[in-house]
Amino acid sequence: MLPVFRRARPACHAPRAMTNRRGPLVVFLAVLAALGCGGTPHARTVAHAEPPAPPLPRLPWETVRPVSPTIESQLVAITGGTVMTATGQVFEHGVVLMEDGRIRAVGAAADVTIPDGATVVDATGRYVTPGVIDTHSHMGVYAQPEVTAHDDGNEATAPVTAQVRAIDSFWPQDPALARALASGVTTIQVLPGSANLIGGAGETIHMHMGRSATEMEFPEAPDTMKMACGENPKRVYGGQDQFPSTRMGNVAGYRQAFQQAVEYGQSWAHWQEEQQVWQTSQDSWARHQASVMERVDSAAESESERVVEGEDAASTSDDDDVDDPGPAPTPPDRDFGLELLLGAIEGRVLVQMHCYRADEMARMIEISHEFGFRIQSFHHAVEAYKIRDLLASEDIAISTWADWWGFKVEAFDTIPENLALLTQAGVRGIVHSDSPMLTQRLAQEAGKAMTAGRERGIQITDDQALRWITANPAWALGIDDRVGTLAEGRIADVVVWSGAPFSVYTHADLVYVDGILEYDRARDGAAPITDFEVGMDLEEPGIPPTSGGAR
Protein backbone atom coordinates (compact mmCIF):
# COMPACT_ATOMS: atom_id res chain seq x y z
CA MET A 1 0.00 0.00 0.00
CA LEU A 2 1.30 3.46 -0.82
CA PRO A 3 2.28 5.67 2.18
CA VAL A 4 0.13 8.55 3.41
CA PHE A 5 1.53 12.04 2.85
CA ARG A 6 0.86 14.36 5.84
CA ARG A 7 1.30 18.08 5.46
CA ALA A 8 1.54 18.83 9.25
CA ARG A 9 4.31 17.20 11.32
CA PRO A 10 5.39 17.48 14.95
CA ALA A 11 9.06 17.44 13.94
CA CYS A 12 11.25 17.67 10.87
CA HIS A 13 14.22 15.72 9.63
CA ALA A 14 16.04 15.31 6.36
CA PRO A 15 14.65 12.55 4.09
CA ARG A 16 17.01 9.58 3.72
CA ALA A 17 16.44 8.91 0.06
CA MET A 18 16.82 12.48 -1.07
CA THR A 19 19.95 13.34 0.91
CA ASN A 20 21.61 10.37 -0.74
CA ARG A 21 20.27 10.89 -4.23
CA ARG A 22 19.46 14.58 -4.74
CA GLY A 23 21.94 16.58 -2.70
CA PRO A 24 21.96 19.54 -5.14
CA LEU A 25 18.28 20.10 -4.44
CA VAL A 26 18.71 20.71 -0.70
CA VAL A 27 17.81 24.39 -0.88
CA PHE A 28 14.55 23.62 -2.57
CA LEU A 29 13.85 20.89 -0.06
CA ALA A 30 14.44 23.37 2.69
CA VAL A 31 11.46 25.22 1.31
CA LEU A 32 9.47 22.04 1.64
CA ALA A 33 10.74 21.77 5.21
CA ALA A 34 9.40 25.22 5.91
CA LEU A 35 6.06 24.24 4.42
CA GLY A 36 5.98 21.00 6.35
CA CYS A 37 7.30 22.23 9.73
CA GLY A 38 6.41 25.89 9.82
CA GLY A 39 2.82 24.89 10.02
CA THR A 40 -0.06 25.70 7.80
CA PRO A 41 -3.29 27.17 9.14
CA HIS A 42 -5.28 24.12 8.19
CA ALA A 43 -3.14 21.01 8.52
CA ARG A 44 -4.79 17.95 6.97
CA THR A 45 -4.01 14.40 5.90
CA VAL A 46 -4.30 13.39 2.24
CA ALA A 47 -4.44 9.64 1.47
CA HIS A 48 -3.23 8.47 -1.93
CA ALA A 49 -5.42 5.82 -3.61
CA GLU A 50 -3.54 2.59 -4.05
CA PRO A 51 -3.13 1.84 -7.78
CA PRO A 52 -4.06 -1.61 -9.06
CA ALA A 53 -1.33 -4.18 -9.31
CA PRO A 54 0.15 -4.47 -12.81
CA PRO A 55 -0.94 -7.50 -14.84
CA LEU A 56 1.25 -10.56 -14.96
CA PRO A 57 3.78 -10.14 -17.77
CA ARG A 58 3.11 -11.95 -21.02
CA LEU A 59 4.97 -15.21 -21.43
CA PRO A 60 7.15 -15.47 -24.53
CA TRP A 61 5.01 -18.18 -26.13
CA GLU A 62 1.81 -16.20 -25.62
CA THR A 63 2.10 -14.60 -29.01
CA VAL A 64 -0.93 -13.28 -30.84
CA ARG A 65 -1.66 -15.54 -33.77
CA PRO A 66 -2.35 -13.91 -37.12
CA VAL A 67 -6.03 -13.78 -37.89
CA SER A 68 -7.47 -15.64 -40.83
CA PRO A 69 -6.83 -13.77 -44.07
CA THR A 70 -9.66 -12.23 -46.01
CA ILE A 71 -10.58 -14.59 -48.84
CA GLU A 72 -12.02 -13.32 -52.09
CA SER A 73 -13.75 -16.00 -54.10
CA GLN A 74 -16.55 -16.00 -56.66
CA LEU A 75 -20.19 -16.37 -55.82
CA VAL A 76 -20.75 -20.01 -56.79
CA ALA A 77 -23.92 -22.11 -56.58
CA ILE A 78 -23.53 -25.89 -56.83
CA THR A 79 -26.96 -27.20 -57.76
CA GLY A 80 -28.79 -30.41 -58.52
CA GLY A 81 -26.50 -32.88 -56.76
CA THR A 82 -26.98 -35.04 -53.68
CA VAL A 83 -25.59 -32.87 -50.89
CA MET A 84 -24.21 -34.86 -47.95
CA THR A 85 -23.56 -32.33 -45.19
CA ALA A 86 -21.94 -34.65 -42.56
CA THR A 87 -24.39 -33.17 -40.05
CA GLY A 88 -27.04 -35.85 -40.49
CA GLN A 89 -28.84 -34.00 -43.28
CA VAL A 90 -28.83 -35.11 -46.92
CA PHE A 91 -30.47 -33.05 -49.69
CA GLU A 92 -31.23 -35.15 -52.74
CA HIS A 93 -31.48 -32.13 -55.01
CA GLY A 94 -29.52 -29.71 -52.97
CA VAL A 95 -27.75 -26.39 -53.35
CA VAL A 96 -24.49 -25.21 -51.84
CA LEU A 97 -23.98 -21.46 -52.17
CA MET A 98 -20.52 -20.06 -51.41
CA GLU A 99 -18.75 -16.73 -51.69
CA ASP A 100 -15.59 -15.11 -50.34
CA GLY A 101 -14.33 -18.30 -48.79
CA ARG A 102 -17.46 -19.16 -46.83
CA ILE A 103 -20.59 -21.21 -47.30
CA ARG A 104 -23.52 -18.81 -47.55
CA ALA A 105 -26.34 -21.35 -47.70
CA VAL A 106 -26.97 -25.09 -47.86
CA GLY A 107 -30.31 -26.76 -48.41
CA ALA A 108 -32.90 -28.11 -50.73
CA ALA A 109 -33.26 -26.39 -54.09
CA ALA A 110 -36.66 -25.07 -53.14
CA ASP A 111 -35.26 -23.40 -50.00
CA VAL A 112 -32.13 -21.68 -51.34
CA THR A 113 -32.38 -18.63 -53.57
CA ILE A 114 -29.54 -18.31 -56.05
CA PRO A 115 -28.57 -14.65 -56.46
CA ASP A 116 -28.20 -13.06 -59.85
CA GLY A 117 -24.66 -13.19 -61.15
CA ALA A 118 -23.74 -16.43 -59.41
CA THR A 119 -21.66 -19.00 -61.28
CA VAL A 120 -23.89 -22.07 -61.38
CA VAL A 121 -22.27 -25.52 -61.32
CA ASP A 122 -24.66 -28.27 -62.40
CA ALA A 123 -24.00 -31.28 -60.16
CA THR A 124 -26.99 -33.31 -61.30
CA GLY A 125 -26.25 -37.01 -60.85
CA ARG A 126 -23.22 -36.23 -58.71
CA TYR A 127 -22.56 -35.94 -54.97
CA VAL A 128 -21.37 -32.96 -52.94
CA THR A 129 -19.57 -33.33 -49.59
CA PRO A 130 -17.26 -31.41 -47.29
CA GLY A 131 -13.58 -31.60 -48.16
CA VAL A 132 -11.74 -34.70 -46.96
CA ILE A 133 -9.43 -34.28 -43.95
CA ASP A 134 -6.47 -36.56 -43.27
CA THR A 135 -5.25 -36.47 -39.67
CA HIS A 136 -2.05 -38.44 -40.29
CA SER A 137 0.16 -37.49 -43.19
CA HIS A 138 3.89 -37.31 -43.82
CA MET A 139 3.54 -35.62 -47.19
CA GLY A 140 6.04 -32.84 -47.50
CA VAL A 141 8.36 -34.27 -44.82
CA TYR A 142 8.70 -37.70 -46.47
CA ALA A 143 8.23 -36.25 -49.91
CA GLN A 144 8.04 -38.04 -53.24
CA PRO A 145 10.06 -39.51 -54.81
CA GLU A 146 11.15 -41.63 -51.85
CA VAL A 147 14.87 -40.91 -51.70
CA THR A 148 17.22 -40.20 -48.80
CA ALA A 149 17.32 -36.52 -49.70
CA HIS A 150 13.60 -36.31 -48.81
CA ASP A 151 13.91 -38.20 -45.52
CA ASP A 152 12.99 -35.30 -43.22
CA GLY A 153 10.29 -36.74 -40.97
CA ASN A 154 12.22 -38.23 -38.02
CA GLU A 155 14.84 -36.33 -36.03
CA ALA A 156 16.06 -39.70 -34.72
CA THR A 157 18.98 -38.34 -32.71
CA ALA A 158 17.29 -38.39 -29.29
CA PRO A 159 14.13 -40.05 -27.95
CA VAL A 160 12.58 -36.68 -27.05
CA THR A 161 12.75 -33.96 -29.72
CA ALA A 162 9.75 -31.82 -28.84
CA GLN A 163 11.65 -28.77 -30.07
CA VAL A 164 11.43 -29.70 -33.77
CA ARG A 165 8.50 -28.77 -36.02
CA ALA A 166 7.24 -30.62 -39.06
CA ILE A 167 6.58 -27.30 -40.80
CA ASP A 168 10.33 -26.65 -40.89
CA SER A 169 10.85 -29.76 -43.06
CA PHE A 170 7.73 -29.38 -45.18
CA TRP A 171 8.33 -29.21 -48.94
CA PRO A 172 5.33 -27.64 -50.68
CA GLN A 173 6.32 -29.03 -54.10
CA ASP A 174 5.93 -32.65 -53.00
CA PRO A 175 4.08 -34.22 -55.97
CA ALA A 176 1.98 -36.27 -53.54
CA LEU A 177 0.21 -33.11 -52.35
CA ALA A 178 -1.33 -32.38 -55.74
CA ARG A 179 -2.49 -35.98 -56.04
CA ALA A 180 -4.13 -35.81 -52.62
CA LEU A 181 -5.90 -32.59 -53.61
CA ALA A 182 -7.14 -34.28 -56.78
CA SER A 183 -8.64 -36.97 -54.54
CA GLY A 184 -10.77 -34.53 -52.59
CA VAL A 185 -8.37 -33.90 -49.68
CA THR A 186 -8.56 -30.27 -48.56
CA THR A 187 -6.84 -30.40 -45.16
CA ILE A 188 -4.05 -32.58 -43.77
CA GLN A 189 -2.12 -32.82 -40.55
CA VAL A 190 1.58 -33.24 -41.33
CA LEU A 191 3.34 -35.03 -38.48
CA PRO A 192 6.89 -35.97 -37.59
CA GLY A 193 7.56 -39.70 -37.74
CA SER A 194 7.28 -42.19 -34.90
CA ALA A 195 10.92 -42.98 -34.15
CA ASN A 196 10.85 -40.84 -31.01
CA LEU A 197 8.80 -40.88 -27.84
CA ILE A 198 7.99 -37.24 -28.52
CA GLY A 199 8.70 -36.41 -32.13
CA GLY A 200 7.86 -32.70 -32.24
CA ALA A 201 5.13 -30.36 -33.42
CA GLY A 202 2.74 -31.25 -36.20
CA GLU A 203 1.22 -28.76 -38.61
CA THR A 204 -2.26 -28.45 -40.07
CA ILE A 205 -2.06 -27.69 -43.80
CA HIS A 206 -4.80 -26.20 -45.97
CA MET A 207 -4.44 -27.53 -49.49
CA HIS A 208 -3.74 -24.40 -51.45
CA MET A 209 -0.67 -25.32 -53.45
CA GLY A 210 1.70 -22.66 -52.13
CA ARG A 211 5.29 -21.62 -52.75
CA SER A 212 6.21 -21.92 -49.10
CA ALA A 213 5.11 -23.91 -46.11
CA THR A 214 3.77 -20.77 -44.46
CA GLU A 215 1.44 -20.11 -47.38
CA MET A 216 -0.15 -23.52 -46.81
CA GLU A 217 -0.64 -23.33 -43.03
CA PHE A 218 -4.25 -23.57 -41.87
CA PRO A 219 -4.91 -20.16 -40.26
CA GLU A 220 -5.45 -20.23 -36.49
CA ALA A 221 -5.32 -24.02 -36.22
CA PRO A 222 -4.21 -25.18 -32.76
CA ASP A 223 -0.69 -26.50 -32.30
CA THR A 224 -0.36 -30.28 -32.24
CA MET A 225 2.30 -32.62 -30.85
CA LYS A 226 3.31 -36.06 -32.08
CA MET A 227 4.05 -38.80 -29.57
CA ALA A 228 4.69 -42.50 -30.14
CA CYS A 229 4.54 -45.57 -27.96
CA GLY A 230 5.28 -49.23 -28.56
CA GLU A 231 7.73 -50.85 -30.89
CA ASN A 232 9.13 -47.94 -32.88
CA PRO A 233 10.98 -45.89 -30.23
CA LYS A 234 12.36 -48.91 -28.39
CA ARG A 235 13.49 -50.48 -31.67
CA VAL A 236 15.18 -47.32 -32.95
CA TYR A 237 17.10 -46.55 -29.75
CA GLY A 238 17.45 -50.08 -28.38
CA GLY A 239 19.09 -50.97 -31.67
CA GLN A 240 21.71 -48.34 -30.89
CA ASP A 241 22.13 -49.57 -27.29
CA GLN A 242 20.51 -46.37 -26.07
CA PHE A 243 17.59 -45.53 -23.83
CA PRO A 244 14.79 -46.52 -24.27
CA SER A 245 15.10 -50.15 -25.30
CA THR A 246 11.93 -51.44 -23.62
CA ARG A 247 8.33 -50.37 -23.16
CA MET A 248 9.07 -49.54 -19.53
CA GLY A 249 11.86 -47.30 -20.81
CA ASN A 250 9.34 -45.63 -23.11
CA VAL A 251 7.05 -44.77 -20.19
CA ALA A 252 9.94 -43.57 -18.05
CA GLY A 253 10.89 -41.27 -20.92
CA TYR A 254 7.41 -39.73 -21.08
CA ARG A 255 7.39 -39.15 -17.32
CA GLN A 256 10.79 -37.53 -17.36
CA ALA A 257 9.87 -35.21 -20.24
CA PHE A 258 6.56 -34.10 -18.75
CA GLN A 259 8.06 -33.61 -15.29
CA GLN A 260 10.67 -31.33 -16.83
CA ALA A 261 7.86 -29.43 -18.53
CA VAL A 262 6.00 -29.04 -15.22
CA GLU A 263 9.12 -27.64 -13.58
CA TYR A 264 9.75 -25.39 -16.58
CA GLY A 265 6.26 -23.97 -16.22
CA GLN A 266 6.82 -23.41 -12.50
CA SER A 267 10.03 -21.50 -13.18
CA TRP A 268 8.24 -19.15 -15.56
CA ALA A 269 5.32 -18.73 -13.13
CA HIS A 270 7.82 -17.79 -10.41
CA TRP A 271 9.43 -15.28 -12.75
CA GLN A 272 6.01 -13.80 -13.55
CA GLU A 273 5.34 -13.26 -9.84
CA GLU A 274 8.77 -11.72 -9.29
CA GLN A 275 8.32 -9.51 -12.33
CA GLN A 276 4.91 -8.36 -11.10
CA VAL A 277 6.34 -7.45 -7.67
CA TRP A 278 9.27 -5.67 -9.33
CA GLN A 279 6.93 -3.76 -11.65
CA THR A 280 4.84 -2.66 -8.67
CA SER A 281 7.98 -1.38 -6.93
CA GLN A 282 9.21 0.24 -10.12
CA ASP A 283 5.89 2.05 -10.57
CA SER A 284 6.06 3.26 -6.95
CA TRP A 285 9.61 4.47 -7.45
CA ALA A 286 8.61 6.33 -10.61
CA ARG A 287 5.68 8.00 -8.81
CA HIS A 288 7.96 8.90 -5.93
CA GLN A 289 10.48 10.57 -8.20
CA ALA A 290 7.73 12.44 -10.02
CA SER A 291 6.22 13.57 -6.70
CA VAL A 292 9.55 14.87 -5.42
CA MET A 293 10.19 16.84 -8.57
CA GLU A 294 6.67 18.24 -8.50
CA ARG A 295 7.14 19.43 -4.90
CA VAL A 296 10.51 20.92 -5.72
CA ASP A 297 9.19 22.78 -8.75
CA SER A 298 6.19 24.07 -6.82
CA ALA A 299 8.28 25.25 -3.90
CA ALA A 300 10.76 26.94 -6.20
CA GLU A 301 8.01 28.95 -7.83
CA SER A 302 6.05 30.11 -4.78
CA GLU A 303 8.27 29.93 -1.74
CA SER A 304 11.82 30.48 -2.96
CA GLU A 305 12.29 33.38 -0.49
CA ARG A 306 10.94 31.54 2.57
CA VAL A 307 13.88 29.54 3.75
CA VAL A 308 13.59 29.22 7.53
CA GLU A 309 16.92 29.60 9.26
CA GLY A 310 17.84 27.24 12.07
CA GLU A 311 15.68 24.33 10.85
CA ASP A 312 16.57 21.17 8.95
CA ALA A 313 17.20 21.81 5.30
CA ALA A 314 14.47 19.45 4.14
CA SER A 315 11.36 17.69 5.36
CA THR A 316 10.24 14.19 4.73
CA SER A 317 7.07 12.36 3.79
CA ASP A 318 6.05 8.74 4.03
CA ASP A 319 6.66 8.13 0.32
CA ASP A 320 10.29 9.18 0.78
CA ASP A 321 10.84 5.63 2.09
CA VAL A 322 10.46 4.20 -1.44
CA ASP A 323 13.66 2.65 -2.76
CA ASP A 324 14.83 2.09 -6.31
CA PRO A 325 13.97 -1.59 -7.05
CA GLY A 326 16.97 -2.03 -9.31
CA PRO A 327 17.04 -4.11 -12.52
CA ALA A 328 14.16 -6.35 -13.55
CA PRO A 329 14.32 -10.06 -12.65
CA THR A 330 16.04 -12.21 -15.26
CA PRO A 331 13.62 -14.63 -17.00
CA PRO A 332 14.42 -18.34 -17.27
CA ASP A 333 16.22 -19.63 -20.33
CA ARG A 334 13.79 -20.59 -23.08
CA ASP A 335 13.37 -24.22 -24.09
CA PHE A 336 11.14 -24.64 -27.14
CA GLY A 337 10.65 -28.35 -26.56
CA LEU A 338 9.50 -27.90 -22.98
CA GLU A 339 7.21 -25.10 -24.15
CA LEU A 340 5.44 -27.53 -26.48
CA LEU A 341 5.06 -30.08 -23.67
CA LEU A 342 3.84 -27.39 -21.30
CA GLY A 343 1.32 -26.36 -23.95
CA ALA A 344 -0.03 -29.90 -23.91
CA ILE A 345 -0.38 -29.77 -20.12
CA GLU A 346 -2.16 -26.42 -20.35
CA GLY A 347 -4.48 -27.62 -23.13
CA ARG A 348 -3.10 -25.31 -25.84
CA VAL A 349 -1.42 -28.14 -27.78
CA LEU A 350 -3.39 -31.15 -29.02
CA VAL A 351 -1.61 -34.47 -28.43
CA GLN A 352 -1.66 -36.88 -31.37
CA MET A 353 -0.29 -40.27 -30.28
CA HIS A 354 0.90 -43.20 -32.38
CA CYS A 355 -0.16 -46.29 -30.41
CA TYR A 356 -1.32 -49.73 -31.56
CA ARG A 357 -2.05 -51.93 -28.54
CA ALA A 358 -5.00 -51.53 -26.19
CA ASP A 359 -2.92 -51.97 -23.04
CA GLU A 360 -0.51 -49.23 -24.11
CA MET A 361 -3.31 -46.83 -24.89
CA ALA A 362 -4.74 -47.46 -21.41
CA ARG A 363 -1.31 -46.84 -19.88
CA MET A 364 -0.93 -43.57 -21.79
CA ILE A 365 -4.33 -42.42 -20.56
CA GLU A 366 -3.04 -43.00 -17.01
CA ILE A 367 0.11 -41.00 -17.78
CA SER A 368 -2.03 -38.18 -19.17
CA HIS A 369 -3.98 -38.07 -15.90
CA GLU A 370 -0.76 -38.08 -13.90
CA PHE A 371 0.55 -34.95 -15.63
CA GLY A 372 -2.68 -33.21 -16.51
CA PHE A 373 -2.67 -33.36 -20.30
CA ARG A 374 -5.22 -35.00 -22.54
CA ILE A 375 -4.80 -37.09 -25.66
CA GLN A 376 -6.82 -35.73 -28.55
CA SER A 377 -6.43 -38.76 -30.79
CA PHE A 378 -4.68 -42.11 -30.78
CA HIS A 379 -3.31 -42.94 -34.22
CA HIS A 380 -3.23 -46.38 -35.88
CA ALA A 381 -4.84 -47.86 -32.72
CA VAL A 382 -5.71 -51.20 -34.30
CA GLU A 383 -6.73 -52.63 -30.91
CA ALA A 384 -8.90 -49.65 -29.93
CA TYR A 385 -12.04 -51.80 -30.13
CA LYS A 386 -10.86 -53.64 -26.98
CA ILE A 387 -11.12 -50.48 -24.85
CA ARG A 388 -13.83 -48.60 -26.70
CA ASP A 389 -15.75 -47.88 -23.48
CA LEU A 390 -12.67 -46.27 -21.94
CA LEU A 391 -12.00 -44.23 -25.07
CA ALA A 392 -15.59 -43.01 -25.16
CA SER A 393 -15.48 -41.94 -21.50
CA GLU A 394 -12.19 -40.08 -22.10
CA ASP A 395 -13.50 -38.47 -25.32
CA ILE A 396 -10.45 -39.57 -27.31
CA ALA A 397 -10.74 -39.88 -31.08
CA ILE A 398 -9.25 -42.84 -32.95
CA SER A 399 -7.43 -42.28 -36.24
CA THR A 400 -6.96 -45.63 -37.91
CA TRP A 401 -7.14 -47.63 -41.13
CA ALA A 402 -9.97 -49.68 -42.53
CA ASP A 403 -8.01 -52.93 -42.62
CA TRP A 404 -4.22 -52.52 -42.64
CA TRP A 405 -2.66 -55.12 -40.42
CA GLY A 406 0.15 -57.61 -39.84
CA PHE A 407 3.15 -55.54 -40.93
CA LYS A 408 4.60 -55.85 -37.39
CA VAL A 409 3.65 -57.69 -34.21
CA GLU A 410 1.79 -54.81 -32.56
CA ALA A 411 -0.34 -54.49 -35.71
CA PHE A 412 -1.35 -58.14 -35.67
CA ASP A 413 -4.63 -58.07 -33.74
CA THR A 414 -6.52 -55.87 -36.21
CA ILE A 415 -10.15 -56.42 -37.15
CA PRO A 416 -11.96 -54.69 -40.03
CA GLU A 417 -14.90 -53.92 -37.71
CA ASN A 418 -12.73 -51.67 -35.52
CA LEU A 419 -14.18 -48.36 -36.72
CA ALA A 420 -17.74 -49.63 -36.68
CA LEU A 421 -17.44 -50.91 -33.10
CA LEU A 422 -15.87 -47.65 -31.98
CA THR A 423 -18.65 -45.63 -33.59
CA GLN A 424 -21.28 -47.84 -32.01
CA ALA A 425 -19.69 -47.14 -28.60
CA GLY A 426 -19.72 -43.36 -29.13
CA VAL A 427 -16.05 -42.89 -30.02
CA ARG A 428 -15.12 -40.46 -32.77
CA GLY A 429 -13.72 -42.75 -35.45
CA ILE A 430 -11.42 -41.41 -38.15
CA VAL A 431 -10.00 -42.97 -41.31
CA HIS A 432 -6.44 -41.74 -41.75
CA SER A 433 -3.77 -42.60 -44.30
CA ASP A 434 -0.15 -42.48 -43.08
CA SER A 435 0.58 -42.92 -46.77
CA PRO A 436 0.66 -40.68 -49.85
CA MET A 437 -1.02 -43.51 -51.73
CA LEU A 438 -3.82 -44.20 -49.25
CA THR A 439 -4.64 -40.52 -48.80
CA GLN A 440 -5.91 -40.63 -52.42
CA ARG A 441 -8.49 -43.24 -51.42
CA LEU A 442 -9.78 -42.20 -48.01
CA ALA A 443 -13.40 -42.12 -49.13
CA GLN A 444 -13.09 -45.67 -50.46
CA GLU A 445 -11.42 -46.73 -47.21
CA ALA A 446 -14.36 -45.31 -45.27
CA GLY A 447 -16.68 -47.31 -47.51
CA LYS A 448 -14.75 -50.50 -46.75
CA ALA A 449 -14.96 -49.94 -42.99
CA MET A 450 -18.66 -49.11 -43.24
CA THR A 451 -19.33 -52.33 -45.16
CA ALA A 452 -17.32 -54.40 -42.67
CA GLY A 453 -19.49 -53.09 -39.86
CA ARG A 454 -22.74 -53.66 -41.68
CA GLU A 455 -21.76 -57.23 -42.45
CA ARG A 456 -21.47 -57.82 -38.70
CA GLY A 457 -24.84 -56.24 -37.98
CA ILE A 458 -23.56 -52.79 -36.98
CA GLN A 459 -25.71 -50.35 -38.91
CA ILE A 460 -23.28 -47.61 -39.81
CA THR A 461 -25.03 -44.91 -41.81
CA ASP A 462 -23.55 -43.15 -44.82
CA ASP A 463 -23.46 -39.98 -42.74
CA GLN A 464 -21.42 -41.68 -39.99
CA ALA A 465 -18.98 -43.06 -42.56
CA LEU A 466 -18.67 -39.63 -44.15
CA ARG A 467 -17.89 -38.13 -40.74
CA TRP A 468 -14.91 -40.52 -40.46
CA ILE A 469 -13.16 -38.45 -43.14
CA THR A 470 -14.67 -34.99 -42.51
CA ALA A 471 -16.22 -33.87 -39.23
CA ASN A 472 -14.38 -36.24 -36.88
CA PRO A 473 -10.88 -35.48 -38.17
CA ALA A 474 -11.76 -31.77 -38.03
CA TRP A 475 -12.51 -32.25 -34.33
CA ALA A 476 -9.22 -34.09 -33.76
CA LEU A 477 -7.37 -31.09 -35.23
CA GLY A 478 -9.39 -28.52 -33.28
CA ILE A 479 -10.88 -26.91 -36.39
CA ASP A 480 -14.37 -28.43 -36.40
CA ASP A 481 -15.91 -25.01 -35.86
CA ARG A 482 -14.71 -24.06 -39.36
CA VAL A 483 -14.45 -27.16 -41.55
CA GLY A 484 -15.67 -30.75 -41.72
CA THR A 485 -19.34 -30.09 -42.42
CA LEU A 486 -21.42 -28.21 -44.95
CA ALA A 487 -23.22 -25.49 -43.04
CA GLU A 488 -23.78 -21.77 -43.31
CA GLY A 489 -20.73 -19.81 -42.19
CA ARG A 490 -18.25 -22.68 -42.50
CA ILE A 491 -15.16 -22.45 -44.66
CA ALA A 492 -16.08 -23.40 -48.21
CA ASP A 493 -14.04 -26.60 -48.55
CA VAL A 494 -16.30 -28.56 -50.90
CA VAL A 495 -15.90 -31.59 -53.16
CA VAL A 496 -18.10 -32.50 -56.11
CA TRP A 497 -17.79 -36.25 -56.76
CA SER A 498 -18.59 -38.02 -60.02
CA GLY A 499 -20.73 -40.51 -58.12
CA ALA A 500 -21.34 -41.92 -54.64
CA PRO A 501 -18.20 -40.97 -52.65
CA PHE A 502 -17.58 -44.46 -51.23
CA SER A 503 -17.52 -46.17 -54.62
CA VAL A 504 -14.26 -47.41 -56.14
CA TYR A 505 -15.50 -46.01 -59.48
CA THR A 506 -15.89 -42.46 -58.19
CA HIS A 507 -13.49 -39.58 -58.81
CA ALA A 508 -13.33 -36.10 -57.37
CA ASP A 509 -14.50 -33.85 -60.23
CA LEU A 510 -14.18 -30.46 -58.51
CA VAL A 511 -12.34 -29.52 -55.32
CA TYR A 512 -12.89 -26.13 -53.71
CA VAL A 513 -10.63 -24.84 -50.93
CA ASP A 514 -11.83 -21.60 -49.33
CA GLY A 515 -14.37 -21.44 -52.14
CA ILE A 516 -11.57 -21.32 -54.72
CA LEU A 517 -11.57 -24.03 -57.39
CA GLU A 518 -8.20 -25.65 -56.72
CA TYR A 519 -8.79 -28.78 -58.80
CA ASP A 520 -10.96 -29.43 -61.84
CA ARG A 521 -10.64 -32.92 -63.32
CA ALA A 522 -11.72 -31.73 -66.76
CA ARG A 523 -9.09 -29.01 -66.67
CA ASP A 524 -6.22 -30.62 -64.73
CA GLY A 525 -6.46 -34.29 -65.60
CA ALA A 526 -5.43 -36.86 -63.00
CA ALA A 527 -3.58 -34.25 -60.94
CA PRO A 528 -1.96 -30.84 -61.31
CA ILE A 529 1.73 -31.07 -62.19
CA THR A 530 4.17 -29.56 -59.71
CA ASP A 531 7.25 -27.56 -60.66
CA PHE A 532 9.35 -30.54 -59.62
CA GLU A 533 7.73 -32.67 -62.31
CA VAL A 534 7.88 -30.17 -65.16
CA GLY A 535 10.03 -31.54 -67.95
CA MET A 536 10.01 -35.10 -66.62
CA ASP A 537 8.81 -38.05 -68.64
CA LEU A 538 6.84 -39.72 -65.87
CA GLU A 539 6.48 -42.87 -67.96
CA GLU A 540 10.24 -43.28 -68.20
CA PRO A 541 11.57 -46.32 -66.31
CA GLY A 542 13.40 -45.35 -63.14
CA ILE A 543 11.03 -42.59 -62.03
CA PRO A 544 9.66 -43.80 -58.66
CA PRO A 545 5.87 -43.93 -58.32
CA THR A 546 4.11 -41.88 -55.65
CA SER A 547 3.37 -44.74 -53.30
CA GLY A 548 4.45 -46.20 -50.01
CA GLY A 549 4.33 -44.76 -46.52
CA ALA A 550 6.01 -44.54 -43.14
CA ARG A 551 4.19 -46.60 -40.56
Kindly report, residue by residue over 66-79, the tens digit of the pLDDT.
677 889 999 999 99
pLDDT tens, position by position, 339-362: 999 999 999 999 999 999 999 999
CA distance 331 to 273: 11
Side chain identity, residue 522: A
Band (541; pLDDT cuts 50, 70, 90): low
The half-sphere exposure of 286 on its side-chain side, counting CA atoms within 13 A, is 7
Closest CA to 442 of 419, 408, 421: 419
Note the pLDDT of residue 62: 86
pLDDT, mean over the chain: 88
pLDDT at 3 over 50: no
Measured CA to CA in angstroms, residue 214 lies from 137, 418, 477, 481 at distances of: 17, 36, 18, 22
CA distance 502 to 504: 7
pLDDT at 198 over 90: yes
CA distance 31 to 27: 7
Go through 220-253 and write b for each residue having 16 or more CB atoms within 10 A of its CB, e for each that does not. ebbbbbbbbbbbbbbebbeeeeebbbebebbbeb
pTM reported for the whole predicted model? 0.85
pLDDT tens, position by position, 111-147: 999 999 999 999 999 999 999 999 999 999 999 999 9
Note the pLDDT of residue 482: 97
Percent of the chain's residues with pLDDT above 90: 75
Band (34; pLDDT cuts 50, 70, 90): very low
In the chain, count H helices and then E strands. Answer: 14, 20
Query: Mean pLDDT across the stretch 457-463?
Result: 98
Residue 11, C-beta contacts closer than 8 angstroms, at least 6 positions apart:
37
Rg of the chain, C-alpha, whole Å: 33
Note the pLDDT of residue 314: 45
Q: Which domains does the chain have, with CATH numbers?
A: 71-130+484-531 (2.30.40.10), 132-219+231-245+374-440+464-483 (3.20.20.140)
| Helix/strand/coil for 367 | helix
CA distance 483 to 472: 10
pLDDT tens, position by position, 213-241: 999 999 999 999 999 999 999 999 999 99
CA distance 297 to 31: 11
Query: Mean pLDDT across the stretch 498-525?
Result: 97
Note the pLDDT of residue 214: 94
Band (273; pLDDT cuts 50, 70, 90): very high
Note the pLDDT of residue 542: 53
